[in-house]
Amino acid sequence: MKTFKVLPLALLSLLVGCAAKEPSLNDTLPKLTLQNVLPTVTANEHCNAQMDSDILYGIGFQMYENQELDDAKTCMVMAAPKHTRAFCYLSMIVRQDEQLTTEQRDTEAFNYTAYAALQNDWCAEYGLYQTYKYGNVGVEADAALATRWLERSSLHGYPEAQKELIEQYEERGNLADAYAWTKVMAKDDDSTAADALKKKMTAAQIADGEKRYSELAAQVASKKAMYAEAREEDVGRYSAEIYQEWPDTFKGMSSTERYNYVKQSMYTALDLPFTKSRGHVLSYIVINRAALLKKPDANIAKDPRIVAIMDDPDLSVGETIESGLKVVEKFYR
């Protein structure tokens, strides 16, 4: 997963309003390595060490969503060396592990989050903001440190962190920073996003806000980068579901070929008029692959029989795929 470089300390201090003598945020965390953070796990029926890491992550995510936490932990531990976001889920999973003592849960949860934050993961950085704000997982509350982690998560593009940061700036009367971050969050074509704040600001505050916005615009992870990161996660999630439910889809493909196919097909599906849900994307990936195996120049998006199936709101994802595969089997040569 793509990460972003840590800002130079001088600039970071300027952004968060901290004195230069304060340590960098990374220096407030323990020195951690994969070896001393990740436990040893044994393969389960869903995940093993020979599987592709993005599929391991995708299955781990499914297991987490289904609250099958033991299996989710195994899959996420196996995925974590190549997927930093897995540590965020491991932190949430371990907090619910009743086989551990409170001290063990707190230590593991904090270390998972801290390790990912050291890799500049916005999810983990936001997690540390919450940890220091509320004083959980055995850590004492520290409002100043919490704010610094909130700002770093915001700089790395997390919208929820940015919203929270704006609210805090407004509450403190720091309208210039609130104005700047409001403009950062706004859609590219929205020139009115900060108008409500402007009405409360002096000309000098607006000028300061514009200056801050110019500084932030060059440093904050772009919406385009965040979108691309989310789609990278989706490749793993779609691959995982297909791997489990329709494994023949990937038959004969190398790991690289499978990854590239799912990614390309996902982006194609997202642009199609009948795509209204994740289920439609998943269906397109599976049916399209079957069609290509029968007819290399196939374009199922132009097949009215398959489009009609995709447009049918009464069909489940499984029924859509089953019906689409029947069309492919009968008509594609």
Residue 2 has pLDDT above 90, yes or no: no
| Whether the Cβ atoms of residue 244 and residue 272 lie closer than 8 Å to each other | no
Please give the average per-residue pLDDT across 253-276, as a whole number.
97
| Residue 189 burial class via C-beta count within 10 angstroms: exposed 0-12, middle 13-18, buried 19 and up | exposed
The tens digit of pLDDT for each residue in 288-322 reads 999 999 999 999 999 999 999 999 999 999 999 99
**Where exactly are the structural domains of the chain?**
9-217, 246-331
Put simply, whether the predicted model's pTM sits higher than 0.85 gets the answer: yes
Task: Just give the CATH number of 9-217.
Answer: 1.25.40.10
Neighbours of 31 (CB within 10 A): 9
Question: Cα(2)–Cα(332) distance, rounded to whole angstroms?
Answer: 39
- The tens digit of pLDDT for each residue in 162-214 reads 999 999 999 999 999 999 999 999 987 787 889 999 999 999 999 999 999 99
DSSP conformation letters of 30-44? ----HHHHSPP----
Mean per-residue pLDDT over the chain, rounded: 93
Condensed to tens digits (0 to 9), the pLDDT of residues 97-124 reads: 999 999 999 999 999 999 999 999 999 9
Q: pLDDT tens, 11-49?
A: 334 444 444 467 899 999 999 999 999 999 999 999 999
Q: What is the C-alpha separation between 200 and 153, in angstroms, rounded?
A: 27
